[in-house]
């Protein structure tokens, strides 16, 4: 990922980008936990606002699964955290690609234990932040073995999620942090706030 120009025409270094990513990760986590997790009672996490749409449980699981795979499996070359948490989540029998698609799979997400979902979500954010603090600026340019890692470590079948393999293929670590982690989470935090408000839970 080459350094470039900022909005006022100045030079942006890799160090600046690292600081931005760390700050953005901290900010999106705080917004998610303060504005959604902390304000929607867990006994309503399986509720569809207005009788339709995504549930809070489905949304949070989706955010966690994408970040978990992008960071732990693709970028770091480790197994994801999901298998360690899946039994506690109530998802022992689901497919490895569960909750990755944008469209919620209600028969799957309806099984999720909200307290254990919080534990999984916190573990994912904590692991990402801890690993991010160890990176050098040069690490942002490294291109991981995406397809091999998703298949071997993530236990995914490319035929089940071909769009994910295509979207993440040949992307450097910096891109994975900016988009599947921070950008993706930011978009869904906004969605979560909208769901919260439609439930009549806006704090304003």
Arithmetic mean of pLDDT, 83-92: 98
Percent of the chain with pLDDT over 90: 88
- Which burial class, exposed, middle or buried, applies to 85 when counting CB atoms under 10 A from its CB (0-12, 13-18, 19+)? buried
> Is residue 15's pLDDT more than 70?
no
pTM, entire model? 0.92
Q: Which position has the token pair 């040949």?
A: 170
The string of pLDDT tens digits covering residues 137-192 is 899 999 999 999 999 999 999 999 999 999 999 999 999 999 999 999 999 999 99
Q: Which position has the token pair 């470590």?
A: 153
Bridge partners for 4 per DSSP: 12
d(CA 43, CA 153): 34
The string of pLDDT tens digits covering residues 45-57 is 999 998 889 999 9
Please, what is the average pLDDT of the chain? 93
Residues 133/22, Cβ–Cβ less than 8 Å:
yes
Token pair for residue 133? 């603090």
d(CA 118, CA 113): 9
Residues 57/115, Cβ–Cβ less than 8 Å:
no
Residues 83/73, Cβ–Cβ less than 8 Å:
no
- Which burial class, exposed, middle or buried, applies to 124 when counting CB atoms under 10 A from its CB (0-12, 13-18, 19+)? buried
> Is residue 17's pLDDT more than 90?
no
- Sketch out the chain's domains with CATH numbers: 11-198 (1.20.120.450)
Arithmetic mean of pLDDT, 191-203: 97
The string of pLDDT tens digits covering residues 116-135 is 999 999 999 999 999 999 99
d(CA 155, CA 96): 6
171-197 per-residue burial string, b: 16 or more CB within 10 A, e: under 16: bbbbbbbbbbbbebbbebbebbbebbe
């Amino acid at each position: 990922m080459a350094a470039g120009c900022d909005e006022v025409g100045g030079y942006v270094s890799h160090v600046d980008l690292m600081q931005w990513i760390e700050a953005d990760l901290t900010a999106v986590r705080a917004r998610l936990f303060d504005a959604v997790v902390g304000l929607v009672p867990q006994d309503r996490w399986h509720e569809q606002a207005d009788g339709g749409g995504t549930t809070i449980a489905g949304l949070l699981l989706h955010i966690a699964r994408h970040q978990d795979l992008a960071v732990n499996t693709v970028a770091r070359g480790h197994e994801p955290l999901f298998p360690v948490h899946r039994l506690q989540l109530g998802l022992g029998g689901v497919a490895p690609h569960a909750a990755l698609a944008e469209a919620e799979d209600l028969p799957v997400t309806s099984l999720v234990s909200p307290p254990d979902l919080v534990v999984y979500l916190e573990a994912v954010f904590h692991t990402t932040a801890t690993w991010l603090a160890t990176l050098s600026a040069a690490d942002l340019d490294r291109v991981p073995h995406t397809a091999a890692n998703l298949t071997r470590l993530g236990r995914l079948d490319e035929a089940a999620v071909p769009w994910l393999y295509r979207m993440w293929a040949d992307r450097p670590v910096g891109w994975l942090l900016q988009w599947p982690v921070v950008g993706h989470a930011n978009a869904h935090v906004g969605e979560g706030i909208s769901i919260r408000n439609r439930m009549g839970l806006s704090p304003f």
